[in-house]
Amino acid sequence: MGRKQEGICGLCFHSPGCGVIVHFDEDDKIDRLTPDPDAPLGSVLCPIADSAKQVVYSEKRIQQPLKRVGPKGTLKFEPISWDEAYDIIVENLNSLKHKYGPETVGFYAGTGSYERSFKDIYQLKGSKIYLASSILFPFGSPNTFGVGAPCYTSLGVLAPQLTMGCLHTDMFSDVDNSDLILVWGTDPSTSTPPEMFGRLITAANEGARIIVIDPRRTNAARLPGSEWLPIRPGSDGALALGLSHILIRDDWVDDVFVEDWTLGYDEFAEYVKEFTPEYVAQLTGIETDRIEQLAEEIADSEGASYVMYTGLEYTKSGVQNLRAVMVLWALAGQFDVEGGRCFARRENLIPMDKSCQIQTPGYEKSIGKGHFPVYSYFCGGEPHANLLPKAILESEPYKIRSLFVLGASILTSWPDPQLWQNAFDELDFMVSIDLQLTRDAAWADIVLPATTAFEQESYCYYGNALRLRKKIIEPVGQSRSCYDILAELANRLEYGHLYPQDSKALLEQIVQGTGHTMEDLEQAPKNTVRGKTQPMVYRKWEKGLLRKDGKPGFETPSGKFEIKSTILEQFGYNGLPKYEESIETPVSNPRMLKRYPLILGTGPFKPDMKSCLRAIPDFMEKYPYPMVQMNPEDAAARNIKTKDPVVIKTARGSVMMRAYLTEDIMEGFVYAPVGGGGPQGTDEWKKANVNILTDLEQFDPISGFPVYKTLLCQVKKKKRQRRGIAVQDPSLGCVG
Ligand SMILES: Nc1nc2c(c(=O)[nH]1)N[C@H]1C(S)=C(S)[C@@H](COP(=O)(O)OP(=O)(O)OC[C@H]3O[C@@H](n4cnc5c(=O)[nH]c(N)nc54)[C@H](O)[C@@H]3O)O[C@H]1N2
Ligand SMILES: Nc1nc2c(c(=O)[nH]1)N[C@H]1C(S)=C(S)[C@@H](COP(=O)(O)OP(=O)(O)OC[C@H]3O[C@@H](n4cnc5c(=O)[nH]c(N)nc54)[C@H](O)[C@@H]3O)O[C@H]1N2
Ligand code: SF4
Ligand SMILES: [Mo]
């Protein structure tokens, strides 16, 4: 038996920071993790924690810097030293700066970059949250991008900021006290961190009613007293507006709130007149009576809350649909009441010193100028990554010639991998910073090995608590933490003084803001210091608890709850939470139904984190091939059985997966996993890049998010195996 040590799990991104007991083996290597219920978060761990040993000591971990020696796309590298790697990087960057200007160098940060210290220090000054890295700002480039462009920003920043002037994380769903909980477009039973699902189980066992609005019956819909309400994908905004229609029609509305605290109510009431229960039933596929009852249930519950996420983000009016749900909750009087959707008390959040964040050298100079202005407005001037391939390939508005990719797998996560690949072909210089070789890395000139969070000293933030992250093991091979890799890059580019240069300096800086010292952190139980515990106060807008100036109201331009958003109008969008059919649906494009009669949704393959675990042997043994979920009725019509190879086809291309038949998905809808198409794992996974089926042309014009979940497709049983590459018939050359 080896030793044990308390620590923080360092496996998944978004760094939720579950507390763990790390068990070591005889060689003092991490052997396994068990929960640490006394930690700020960690009474239950997610299944990924079981793979800790294999992830950390994976044969596929990059152990030292690499230089590409084969052609682009071939993954042929030779090892080099860190010094050599930095020399090559700095030489290339300075030469590009000299010849073409610093703005021709870009940086893209993915979900692998979400370790907390990294997020706080490299966050763009003025951005509401960390989405992209400031590292090239002092170099002179405003062209920094990140995975906030296809994930979370709609729910986490745009919808709540535009409507209420706050972030998703400034609020919480009081599910512990709710009588009614809507699980709307999210699957907390499989999403990390696992804590929310535990709370839903408790709520259900204590009598709360759980309604799952989702085209798939997820585990929340199996809890006692729960109900599954299948909905036509992408039509959630129409449902929310239809529910508001009923509340207004039947005088269920919180009049005092509407009168004193909202902007745009009358116009909204006029707008939702068309969303009659009959019309909404047609759009959503939910019966009229059920819609009527649901409106009453929401308004009449003693505490109704919701959990929502990506199910609502990936359609044309994603941001507006999320806003429509928020407006519904406000009208129903379920905001900031016991058991409702509540605002956190700002006084209880533990502050940190983030004064070293750096501002963009000029959004106007970026390739994003004028495209997704609301996104950039709230995100520190970050240009949207949707525009990156065009900038590289068509010099629109000018050419990006070099790209860093950190903790991301662009070729598997973004629509149209062929277009991105063409763009990578065009680059003069590319760097990948990751734990393993990704498909993107095959185009990189230099690859730098990153550590997992187990191998670095840092901290985790839990709103009301800050916990020191102790280093659990020494870095594997020559890997370095992403934080250190960028701090050293800044140093080599002669602006290292702008970023704390090591974990000690970094921690001292962050702790300064908390009112505690490093000594307090070192000595506190579980190395955790906590913020204040002011008691809960409800309807905070009445008491001046939401605005920075202490006045009553909301932190929006009008000071009101903006049903009609002034910022959206200022940037030329419709200010009301307007529902729009997505670009490719049975309603907006019925002519496509003949060839593509099924609705396609794509989403994370939840046993994994997107593309991260394909190199893990146990994982591949358990999940050797990608499976598309489909209803038995749809399958029977196509003579398809579970495990049959099938082709999923959209107007853009086709991908082969295996079928998985389940009654837990509504008829007419199929659901395919993202994350395949990288260089790791089985051949079937390597070929199955679901984003061949999506495209960059379909997006939400406010967030710029790709439409990942509301597309049309056909699924057919596969007849012949493909050879992989189409070879032109050599005999053709002999003709004539
Ligand atoms: N294990 C694991 N955990 C993860 C991740 C992971 O890859 N693996 N990824 C992390 C990341 S990056 C993210 S963004 C989050 C995502 O967290 P979630 O949003 O909870 O992720 P999903 O499981 O995709 O849940 C989306 C749900 O929306 C449903 N849905 C699809 N289309 C529609 C629609 O049009 N309307 C409605 N109402 N529902 C719809 C899907 O059926 C699915 O059940 O999870 C995080 N946690
Ligand atoms: N079709 C379709 N596409 C989607 C989605 C969808 O629902 N449908 N979902 C979207 C969503 S929600 C998201 S968040 C994006 C995800 O987009 P990405 O973040 O680009 O994709 P991942 O596959 O999660 O890649 C993360 C990379 O980070 C690396 N990594 C993990 N930990 C670390 C670390 O500590 N340091 C470093 N340097 N690297 C690390 C992993 O090895 C992996 O290569 O994909 C989006 N793409
Ligand atoms: S959610 Fe899972 S992988 Fe993420 S920190 Fe917690 S236990 Fe680790
Ligand atoms: Mo995500």
- Domains of the chain, residue spans: 4-56, 79-144+352-529, 175-339+539-570, 590-717
* Unique residue bearing structure tokens 């990087």: 89
Run of H or E residues at 55: helix 52-56
Cα of 8 from ligand 4 centre, angstroms: 21
Peptide bond into 193 cis (omega under 30): yes
| pLDDT score at 736 | 32
| pLDDT score at 723 | 54
The answer to whether 351 touches 224, Cβ cutoff 8 Å, is no
Ligand 3 interacting residues, C-beta cut-off 6 A: 9, 11-12, 16, 18, 45-46, 48-49, 192-193
Q: What is the pLDDT of residues 645-659, one digit of tens each?
A: 999 999 999 999 999
- Report residues near ion ligand 4: CB below 5 Å: 151
Q: Based on C-alpha coordinates, what's the Rg of the chain?
A: 25
**pTM listed for this prediction:** 0.96
| pLDDT score at 653 | 97
**Helix 277-284 vs helix 288-300: crossing angle, to nearest 10:** 110
| pLDDT score at 719 | 82
Q: What is the pLDDT of residues 476-525, one digit of tens each?
A: 999 999 999 999 999 999 999 999 998 889 899 888 888 899 999 999 99
Please name every residue paired with 308 in a beta bridge, in sequence order, or none if there are none.
184
What is the C-alpha separation between 40 and 394, in angstroms, rounded? 49
Residue 420 token pair: 């991105």
Q: Fold for domain 175-339+539-570?
A: Dimethylsulfoxide Reductase; domain 2 (3.40.228)
Residue 612 token pair: 């991260």
| pLDDT score at 735 | 36
Average pLDDT along the chain, 736 residues, taken 10 residues at a time = 90 84 96 94 90 95 98 96 98 98 98 91 94 97 98 98 97 97 97 92 98 98 97 98 98 96 98 98 98 97 97 98 98 97 93 91 96 97 98 98 98 98 98 97 98 94 92 97 96 97 89 89 93 92 96 98 98 98 97 98 92 90 96 98 98 98 98 96 96 97 98 93 51 39
Cα of 481 from ligand 3 centre, angstroms: 19
Please name every residue paired with 8 in a beta bridge, in sequence order, or none if there are none.
19
First CA to last CA distance, the chain: 77
Ligand nearest, relative to CA of residue 650: 2
Q: Fold for domain 590-717?
A: Barwin-like endoglucanases (2.40.40)
Q: What is the pLDDT of residues 576-592, one digit of tens each?
A: 999 999 999 999 999 99
Q: Which atom of ligand 3 is nearest to the CA of 42?
A: 6
Residue 317 token pair: 């009016």
Residue 261 backbone phi and psi in degrees, to 5: -125, 0
What is the C-alpha separation between 31 and 20, in angstroms, rounded? 12
* Unique residue bearing structure tokens 């550590």: 451
Which residues, at least 6 apart from 673, have a Cβ–Cβ distance to it below 8 Å? 602, 603, 604, 605, 626, 627, 628, 657, 690
Q: Fold for domain 79-144+352-529?
A: Rossmann fold (3.40.50)
| pLDDT score at 43 | 86
Cα of 341 from ligand 3 centre, angstroms: 25
Range list of β-strands (E), 273-373 = 304-308, 341-343
| pLDDT score at 46 | 92
What CATH number has the domain spanning 4-56? 2.20.25
**Closest listed residue to residue 57, CA positions, set 624, 447, 407, 436:** 436
